[in-house]
Amino acid sequence: MTTMKAMVYYGENDIRFEDRPIPQIIDPTDAVIRVTKTTICGTDLGIWKGKNPEIQDEATKNTGKFDGRILGHEGIGIVEEVGSGVKNVKKGDRVIISCVSRCGTCENCQKQLYAHCRNGGGWIMGYMIDGAHAEYVRTPFADTSLYPLPEGLNEDVAVFLSDVLPTSHEIGVRYGDVKPGDSIAIVGTGPIGMGCLLTSQFYSPAQIIAVDMDDSRLALAKELGATHTINSGKEDAIARILEITDGRGVDCAIEAVGAEPTWNICQNVVKEGGHIANVGVHGKPVNFELQKLWIKNLTITTGLVNTNTTGMLLKTCCSGKLPLERLASHHFKFSEFEKAYDVFKHAADENAMKVIIDLA
C-alpha cells in the first residue's frame, strides 16, 4: 500500500478528503505514525476559512504551485517506522503526538521555548508540513515530540494532550498567573476555555466566571467548576463581571476565542495589577485601548503553546482527576471526516465541544 486517505486543504473554503502518498522518513530523527485517533482544532477551522494564507505562500515561494496541505496536529497512534537516529521510540509503540515538534538542542529549546524551535520545529504539523488528519503522519524530532501512551488512559483524553490541554494550561492559566484566592474570567467556553477552566483549578482561584453565548456550554462549565456563568448574548458581560467582583474586576481575564468582542470584555474587566492572557487565535486586528490600560499596571500576554507542561498534565490525566472525557461530545469514523468538519464548523448548532475521529 502506497497511498492513504487524508483531509487536504487547498485554499480558503476548499478542503478535500482524498488519496495522498503515505509519508516516508526524510530525516534520521523522524518517525511515521499510523494514526488511530485524531480531532479537529479551532485552528484547523481557521485555516479552512482562510485565516492562515502563509501556508500557501510558504509552499509556493519555490515552486509557484500549491499541492495542498494535510491538516491536523493532534492525535494518538502506533509507531510504524523510525529513522536511524531515533532512540526513544520503536515500531509498535503507542504514542501521543505533540502539536509542537522540538529539536531539544537549539537556543530556544534550551529555554523551553519549543514553539519557536530554530532547527525547523515548532508548530509545523498540519501547518508548514503535512499533519495528522490522515491515516499516517510523519513526526519530526520523534524522540522529543512523542509521548508514550500509558495503558489504561482514556484515549479521548490522550488526544487532548496533543494540544488543547497544554495550550489552555500554559497560555491561559500559567501566563495569566492564576493564584489561590484569585477571581478569574474565562471568556469563551469552547475546548480551550474548558481546558482553562479545568486546569485553573490546580491553583485554587476563589471565583471562576465563565462567559459565552451558548447556554449548553455554560451549563457544562458550571458542572466542571465555574462559580458563575454569564451569557454575553443576553446580558452585559462587563457590567455583570464588575458586579460579581464588587466593582474591582478580576485578577485574570482569559481570552479563549480570538475575536474583538471577547477581547473587549477582557480589557474592560481586569483590576489594577491584573493579567489578560490572550489564548485565542486572532485573524483580524482588535481595538486595544492602551490609553485606558497603561495606568493599571497590567500584564498582557500572548503565545503559542510550548508543550513544556505536557508531561505533568499526562500524569494528572492518568490519575483521573481531570474529567476531560466530558469534552468529547461527538465521535466519527474516519470515513466520516468531512461530516466531522461540518459538525465542528457548526458547533453551536450541533452542541459540539470536541469531535473525535476514530481510525482504529
Distance CA 240, CA 85 (A): 56
- Among residues 254, 211, 212, the alpha carbon closest in space to that of 351 is found at 212
Please state which CATH number belongs to domain 3-163+307-358.
Answer: 3.90.180.10
- Among residues 279, 100, 258, the alpha carbon closest in space to that of 176 is found at 279
Distance CA 262, CA 317 (A): 29
Residue-wise burial string across 294-321, b where 16 or more C-beta atoms lie within 10 A, e elsewhere: eeeebebeebbbbbbbbeebbebbbeee
pTM, full prediction = 0.95
CATH classification for the domain delimited by 165-301, as one of 3.30.1310.10, 3.40.50.720, 3.30.70.1520, 3.50.50.60:
3.40.50.720
Rg of the chain over CA atoms, in angstroms? 20
Distance CA 230, CA 218 (A): 8
What residue spans define the domains of the chain?
3-163+307-358, 165-301
Same fold, 3-163+307-358 and 165-301: no
| Tens place of pLDDT per residue across the chain (360 aa) | 899 999 999 999 999 999 999 999 999 999 999 999 999 999 999 999 888 888 987 777 767 788 999 999 999 999 999 999 999 999 999 999 999 999 999 999 999 999 999 999 999 999 999 999 999 999 999 999 999 999 999 999 999 999 999 999 999 999 999 999 999 999 999 999 999 999 999 999 999 999 999 999 999 999 999 999 999 999 999 999 999 999 999 999 999 999 999 999 999 999 999 999 999 999 899 999 999 999 999 999 999 999 999 999 999 999 988 999 999 999 999 999 999 999 999 998 999 999 999 998
